[in-house]
């Protein structure tokens, strides 16, 4: 069982009062507990079970404008005594930084809304096994599938965030996650692909058979890929790749990258960075949302932000420290975005595929090819050649490259947004990128 | 001695633990209790200030039971009688009816590849802060175009104890240090970065003597300066010369992961049916070595207690061995190569790389450059990634030049290079005589677990690779 609020609060207040006693002028503490149970299957048989029970504490102490932090998984009082003493000692010896401070009191979350993030249902390993049997039997139906690996995880977490300014709040969250990875083989090639579903509530999880079939279909269609020549061509990003481009955008508008001057979007607030039709929202209060939250990791309340309005950048993602440095108020984004998404575009997925006589549909990228300082983008990719709206054949061993500054202005979105992850994009087309192949 | 006593402050005595372990594992094929206590410290200078000083201590155990192919694992932060019993029940419930024979055999060695030290305690906080400030001042006084300097120290000490069924106990204490510098230059509205770092399993003093840290700064600044002058990279297939040292992450991605035992037992690696066959050009020999003193990827024993070794993966072009942990070795009827690793007690053991190296050949780098009409010379890389099933891998250049008519030309912008693992080493037409180790900064990710690794190689000439630039 995941630890209750009372236990976590007791630990938190112990730390705050000890830090004060030892000379800290301010402090904040996060105590969390996460219990997860996973069962893995491989080729329709039990392969692995994994139970984890993680308890952790993170304490930051301030002495005036000096700051230091410690973290530990050992919450016994005598260990905490040693660590907090060390933390306060280190704080004393750390140079001042004028922007160090706890969040402003008037920005802290006043209430904790019930966002339906916790499902009390406990699913026994035998039930997980039943789900995985059904999933793997659907995934391995086709003879071309030579290996399947699937997994089911139940996670229950609880946390308390408290600071010496009187803030003390936390809540339980849960997640149920199923995934399946398939390997298919023919005379010429071997390919891998996957499908995945994660929900706060067990009853919302995708059907096992559907998920398995999806994983298998997506793998089989990649067999016998070809390599194409180097050219400039319209790229269509599958939703699971499009969300990565949105995440890169989020890193580039984080107040830390902005205040350090290491982002290609520095000083771009109120300027047009996307095409007219593009809107980006970060909405923390979606019921059962995978990124939903009441407040950020400093306790600052999080409201919905329209980050991009008709192509114009409206906000950075601001925390207390970098906010003070930029002379801006925190907007509750310490720790990043919540439920971040592109609003739907105007055309259907089918019309998007049809909009060019020839395009590339990308289902996977590999490599760490996003540079937020320069905006340069270059990654390895696999996908399909699309001609007149039809998937012609699979493609691999190519790279796609461009610069985000240009790519953002050439985005066309379909109207097929769904909330499958915390960050979501409809299917996205970007024109003007370069493919390198043969 | 810095070895942790895991039972010192617990209601769980060593003999209690041993009897729970033996009781749980008696009919299993393998398994152990893994105890870990790690301490780490991070000090970061950024934007002219000490931005962060943090310390972390992590304690916990992972209890593993294996029956045939099935692995049951349970971990917790709480070292107590109750917690270990709960874990034992959890393992038993997964493995319901087991009828294996516990394999007690584990090789022994007295060799050690690093000293039993706690690097964090060897230098005071004030000394470390002083060096970081000196780094900042040194760099900013060297070049007016410097707009940002980030420098950090990471120090760690990890104590590990492995208790097997029957009470056999193996221990290791592992120091690890890393020092990193990142510089951003801005000139005529254009920004570029340069990053360099060093590290290994030694004390801070081995890395932070005056001339030592200055050379790290100089290298980061040099890379950033080169990139300020870079022009768009070409797109398409061409010849590629790789410099020695860190570019060996090509070896790590292209063939290393594909030669890990688990993917080959499961037949999901592009290499699984190529044992004994020619997978590389003649003259290409690749080893994975855990036994080099003080290297980042070295280990005295792996995380199952097996002493590490130097494993020959490819010898003169022929595939010779996979890297194995105990589970995959048993199922493939071979021996562990001491490659069983985990990020920490929260994770199961997987076969992983240690220091992966291509050995020297006879050519000079100069010969390679001269042999290229049109191509690129790649000197430094960011990260890489591989799809072990299709065999396709990528890595990102952070310093590269075009080669025109046998001469090194202008620097080019960072681009991704993509290739095919099982065929790329057959495209190696020259192996250099200048093998070099990387500076000690690599972390390899697999199944969500990061472990420190090393790479090494001489300069090599590859006949054909796809360069992912924007210039057609």
For B385-425, the pLDDT digits (tens) are 999 999 999 999 999 999 999 999 999 998 899 999 889 99
Is B99 in the same domain as B212? yes
CA distance A295 to chain B (A): 23
The token duo for A154 is 């139940």
Tell me whether residue A272 is exposed, middle or buried, using C-beta atoms within 10 angstroms of its C-beta: 0 to 12, 13 to 18, 19 or more: middle
A79: domain CATH number? 3.30.2290.10
Closest CA to B416 of A377, A234, A375: A377
- Do the domain assignments include residue B1? no
Choose the closest CB to A376 out of B268, B414, B467.
B414
Is A80 in the same domain as A204? yes
Is A108 in the same domain as A229? no
- Do the domain assignments include residue B6? no
Distance CA A55, CA B136 (A): 37
pLDDT string in tens for chain A (438-residue length): 889 999 999 999 999 999 999 999 999 999 999 999 999 999 999 999 999 999 999 999 999 999 999 999 999 888 899 999 999 999 999 999 999 999 999 999 999 999 999 999 999 999 999 999 999 999 999 999 999 999 999 999 999 999 999 999 999 999 999 999 999 999 999 999 999 999 999 999 999 999 999 999 999 999 999 999 999 999 999 999 999 999 999 999 999 999 999 999 999 999 999 999 999 999 999 999 999 999 999 999 999 999 999 999 999 999 999 999 999 999 999 999 999 999 999 999 999 999 999 999 999 999 989 999 999 999 999 999 999 999 999 999 999 999 999 999 999 999 999 999 999 999 999 999 999 999
Is A189 in the same domain as A233? no
Q: With 60 as the cut, is the pLDDT of residue B372 above it?
A: yes
Is B180 in the same domain as B95? yes
- Do the domain assignments include residue B4? no
Is A211 in the same domain as A251? no
- Do the domain assignments include residue A252? yes
Mutate to test the interface with A, among B156, B388, B390 (most CBs of A within 10 A): B390
* Residue B327: domain span: 235-468
Confidence (pLDDT) at A388: 93
Report the number of distinct structural domains present in chain B: 2
Is B172 in the same domain as B262? no
User: Is residue A21 classed as helix, strand or coil in its secondary structure?
Assistant: helix
Distance CA A102, CA A165 (A): 8
Is A216 in the same domain as A237? no
Is B396 in the same domain as B463? yes
Is B247 in the same domain as B183? no
Is A159 in the same domain as A290? no
Q: With 90 as the cut, is the pLDDT of residue B24 above it?
A: yes
Chain A, nearest residue to B182 by Cα? A262
Is A81 in the same domain as A190? yes
How many Cβ pairs within 8 Å bridge chains A and B?
Answer: 241
Confidence (pLDDT) at B1: 42
Query: How much is the average pLDDT of B171-198?
Result: 95
Q: With 70 as the cut, is the pLDDT of residue B3 above it?
A: no
- Do the domain assignments include residue A323? no
Q: What is the ipTM of this complex?
A: 0.90
What part of A 351-390 touches B (C-beta under 8 Å)?
364, 366-369, 371, 373-374, 376, 378-380, 382
B136: domain CATH number? 3.30.2290.10
- Do the domain assignments include residue B284? yes
Choose the closest CB to A368 out of B49, B75, B396.
B396
CA distance A111 to chain B (A): 31
Is B243 in the same domain as B368? yes
Residue count (chain A): 438
Chain B, nearest residue to A366 by Cα? B385
Is B248 in the same domain as B200? no
Closest CA to A94 of B41, B40, B216: B41
Confidence (pLDDT) at A315: 98
Choose the closest CB to A436 out of B50, B74, B466.
B466
Domain boundary among the residues B228, B262, B284 is at B228
Is B265 in the same domain as B365? yes
Domain boundary among the residues B194, B228, B262 is at B228
Chain A, nearest residue to B272 by Cα? A190
Q: A195 with A218: CB under 8 angstroms?
A: yes
Choose the closest CB to B77 out of A54, A146, A399.
A54
Confidence (pLDDT) at B9: 80
CA distance A290 to chain B (A): 20
Chain B, nearest residue to A128 by Cα? B94
Is B318 in the same domain as B446? yes
What part of B 210-269 touches A (C-beta under 8 Å)?
233, 235-237, 266-268
Domain boundary among the residues A162, A190, A220 is at A220
Neighbours of B392 (CB within 10 A): 26
Is B268 in the same domain as B207? no
Q: B245 with B197: CB under 8 angstroms?
A: no
Chain B, nearest residue to A69 by Cα? B54
Element spanning A392, H or E: strand A390-403
- Do the domain assignments include residue A329? no
Domain boundary among the residues B175, B204, B228 is at B228
Is A376 in the same domain as A245? yes
Closest CA to B190 of B466, B469, B411: B411
Neighbours of A85 (CB within 10 A): 15
- What are B110-138's pLDDT values in tens digits? 899 999 999 998 888 999 999 999 999 99
Would an 8 Å CB–CB cutoff place A224 in contact with chain B? no
Distance CA A48, CA A33 (A): 23
Measured on CA atoms in the order A227, A232, A236, A238, is the torsion positive or negative?
positive
Cβ separation A380–B468 shorter than 8 A: yes
Chain B, nearest residue to A259 by Cα? B47
What's the farthest any 2 CA atoms get from each other in chain B? Answer: 73
Mutate to test the interface with B, among A53, A145, A226 (most CBs of B within 10 A): A53
- Do the domain assignments include residue A371? yes
Choose the closest CB to B390 out of A71, A191, A378.
A191
Neighbours of A1 (CB within 10 A): 9
Cβ separation B392–A125 shorter than 8 A: no
Chain A, nearest residue to B72 by Cα? A49
- Do the domain assignments include residue B415? yes
The token duo for A78 is 């005598």
Confidence (pLDDT) at A71: 95
Choose the closest CB to B415 out of A90, A183, A378.
A378
Is B80 in the same domain as B223? yes
Is A158 in the same domain as A237? no
* Residue A434: domain span: 225-266+286-295+337-438
Is A368 in the same domain as A388? yes
CA distance A70 to chain B (A): 5
Confidence (pLDDT) at B29: 95
Is A41 in the same domain as A148? yes
Choose the closest CB to B390 out of A53, A76, A190.
A190
Mutate to test the interface with A, among B46, B61, B235 (most CBs of A within 10 A): B235
Report the number of distinct structural domains present in chain A: 2
Phi-psi region of A265 (alpha: psi -120 to 50; beta: other; left: phi over 0): alpha
Would an 8 Å CB–CB cutoff place A137 in contact with chain B? no
Choose the closest CB to A368 out of B52, B266, B382.
B382
Choose the closest CB to A146 out of B52, B267, B386.
B267
CA distance A113 to chain B (A): 31
Q: What is the pTM of this model?
A: 0.93
- HEC secondary structure over chain B: CCCCCCCCCCCCCHHHHHHHHHHHHCCCCEEEEEEEEEEEEEEEEECCEEEEEEEEEEEEEEEEEEECCEEEEEEECCCCHHHHHHHHHHHHHHHCCCCCCCCCCCCCCCCCCCCCCCHHHHCCHHHHHHHHHHHHHHHHHHCCCEEEEEEEEEEEEEEEEEEECCCCEEEEEEEEEEEEEEEEEEECCEEEEEEEEEEECCCHHHCCCHHHHHHHHHHHHHHHHHHHCCECCEEEEEEEEECCCHHHHHHHHHHHHHHEHHHHHCCCCCCCCCCCCECCCCCCCEEEECCCCCCCCCCCECCCCCECCEEEEEECCEECCCECCHHHHHHCCCCCCCCEECCCCCCCCEECCCEEEECCCCECHHHHHHCCCEEEEEEEEEEEEECCCCCEEEEEEEEEEEEECCEEEEEECCCEEEEEHHHHHHHEEEEECCCEECCCCEEEEECCEEEEEEEEECCEEEEEEEEECCEC
Is A65 in the same domain as A81? yes
Is B239 in the same domain as B213? no
Taking contacts as CB-CB distances below 8 angstroms, the residues of chain A near B7 are none
- Do the domain assignments include residue B116? yes
Mutate to test the interface with B, among A1, A59, A72, A73 (most CBs of B within 10 A): A73
- Do the domain assignments include residue A326? no
Taking contacts as CB-CB distances below 8 angstroms, the residues of chain A near B94 are 46, 49, 125
């Amino acid at each position: 069982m995941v630890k209750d609020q009372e236990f976590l609060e007791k630990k938190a207040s112990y730390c705050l009062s000890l830090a004060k006693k030892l000379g800290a002028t301010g402090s904040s503490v996060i105590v969390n507990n996460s219990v997860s149970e996973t069962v893995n299957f491989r080729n329709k048989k039990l392969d692995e079970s994994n139970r984890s029970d993680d308890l952790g504490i993170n304490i930051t102490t301030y002495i005036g404008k000096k700051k230091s932090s410690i973290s530990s998984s050992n919450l016994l009082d005598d260990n905490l005594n040693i660590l907090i003493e060390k933390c306060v000692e280190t704080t004393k010896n750390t140079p001042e930084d004028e922007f160090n401070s706890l969040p402003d009191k008037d920005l802290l979350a006043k209430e904790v809304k019930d966002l339906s993030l916790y499902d009390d249902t406990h699913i026994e390993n035998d039930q997980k096994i039943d789900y995985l049997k059904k999933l793997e039997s659907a995934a391995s139906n086709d003879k071309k599938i030579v290996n399947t690996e699937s997994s089911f995880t139940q996670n229950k977490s609880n946390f308390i965030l408290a600071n010496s300014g009187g803030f003390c709040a936390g809540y339980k969250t849960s997640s149920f996650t199923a995934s399946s990875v398939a390997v298919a083989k023919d005379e010429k090639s071997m390919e891998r692909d996957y499908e995945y579903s994660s929900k706060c509530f067990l009853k919302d999880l995708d059907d096992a058979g559907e998920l398995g079939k999806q994983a298998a279909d997506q793998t089989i269609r990649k067999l016998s890929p070809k390599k194409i020549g180097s050219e400039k061509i319209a790229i269509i990003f599958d939703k699971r790749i499009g969300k990565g481009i949105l995440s890169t955008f989020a890193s580039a508008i984080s107040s830390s990258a902005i205040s350090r001057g290491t982002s290609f979007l520095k000083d771009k607030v109120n300027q047009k960075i996307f095409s007219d039709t593009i809107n980006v929202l970060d909405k923390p209060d979606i019921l059962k949302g995978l990124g939903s939250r009441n407040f950020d990791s400093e306790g600052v309340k999080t409201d919905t932000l329209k980050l991009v309005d008709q192509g114009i950048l409206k906000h950075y993602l601001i925390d207390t420290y970098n906010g003070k440095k930029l002379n801006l108020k925190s907007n509750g984004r310490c720790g990043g975005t919540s439920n971040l998404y592109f609003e739907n575009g105007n055309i259907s997925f089918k019309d998007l595929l049809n909009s060019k006589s020839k395009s590339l549909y990308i289902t996977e990228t590999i490599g760490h090819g996003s540079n937020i300082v320069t905006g340069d983008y270059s990654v390895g990719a696999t996908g399909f050649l699309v001609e007149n709206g039809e998937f012609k054949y699979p493609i691999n061993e190519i790279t796609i490259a461009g610069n985000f500054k240009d790519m953002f202005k050439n985005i066309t979105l379909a109207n097929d947004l769904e909330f499958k992850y915390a960050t979501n994009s409809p299917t996205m087309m970007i024109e003007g990128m370069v493919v390198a192949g043969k | 001695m810095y070895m942790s006593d895991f039972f010192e402050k617990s209601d769980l005595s060593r003999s209690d633990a041993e009897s729970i372990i033996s009781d749980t594992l008696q009919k299993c094929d393998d398994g152990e209790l893994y105890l870990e206590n790690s301490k780490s410290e991070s000090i970061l200078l950024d934007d002219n200030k000490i931005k962060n000083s943090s310390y972390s201590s992590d304690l916990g155990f992972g209890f593993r039971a294996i029956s045939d192919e099935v692995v049951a694992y349970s971990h917790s932060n709480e070292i107590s009688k109750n917690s270990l019993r709960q874990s034992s029940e959890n393992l038993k419930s997964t493995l319901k009816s087991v009828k294996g024979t516990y394999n007690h055999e584990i090789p022994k060695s007295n060799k050690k590849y690093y000293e039993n030290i706690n690097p964090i305690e060897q230098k005071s906080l004030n000394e470390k802060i002083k060096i970081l400030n000196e780094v900042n001042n040194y760099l900013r006084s060297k070049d007016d175009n410097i707009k940002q300097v980030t420098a950090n120290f990471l120090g760690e000490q990890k104590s590990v104890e492995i208790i097997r069924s029957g009470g056999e106990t193996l221990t290791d204490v592992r120091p690890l240090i890393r020092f990193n510098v990142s510089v951003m230059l801005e000139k005529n509205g254009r920004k570029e970065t340069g990053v360099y770092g060093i590290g290994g399993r030694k004390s801070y003093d081995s890395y932070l003597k005056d001339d030592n840290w200055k050379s790290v700064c100089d290298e980061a600044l040099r890379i950033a300066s080169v990139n300020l002058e870079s022009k768009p990279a070409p797109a398409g297939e061409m010849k590629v010369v790789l410099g020695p040292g860190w570019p060996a992450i090509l070896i790590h991605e292209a063939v290393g992961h594909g030669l890990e035992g688990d993917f080959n037992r499961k037949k999901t690696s592009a290499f699984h049916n190529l044992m004994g066959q020619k997978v590389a050009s003649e003259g290409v020999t690749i080893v994975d070595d855990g036994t080099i003193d003080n290297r980042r990827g070295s280990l005295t024993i792996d995380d199952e207690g097996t002493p590490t070794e130097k494993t020959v993966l490819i010898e003169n072009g022929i595939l010779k061995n996979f890297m194995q942990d105990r589970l995959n070795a048993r199922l493939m009827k071979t021996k562990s190569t001491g490659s069983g690793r985990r990020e920490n007690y929260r994770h199961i053991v997987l076969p992983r790389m240690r220091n992966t190296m291509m050995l020297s050949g006879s050519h000079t780098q100069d010969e390679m450059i001269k042999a290229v009409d049109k191509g690129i010379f790649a000197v430094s890389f960011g990260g890489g990634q591989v799809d072990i099933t299709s065999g396709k891998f990528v890595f990102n250049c952070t310093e590269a030049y075009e080669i025109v008519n046998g001469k090194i030309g202008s620097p080019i912008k960072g681009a991704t290079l993509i290739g095919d693992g099982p065929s790329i080493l057959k495209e190696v037409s020259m192996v250099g005589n200048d093998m070099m180790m990387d500076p000690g900064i690599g972390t390899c990710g697999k199944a969500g677990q990061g472990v420190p690794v090393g790479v090494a190689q001489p300069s090599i000439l590859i006949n054909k690779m796809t360069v992912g630039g924007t210039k057609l």
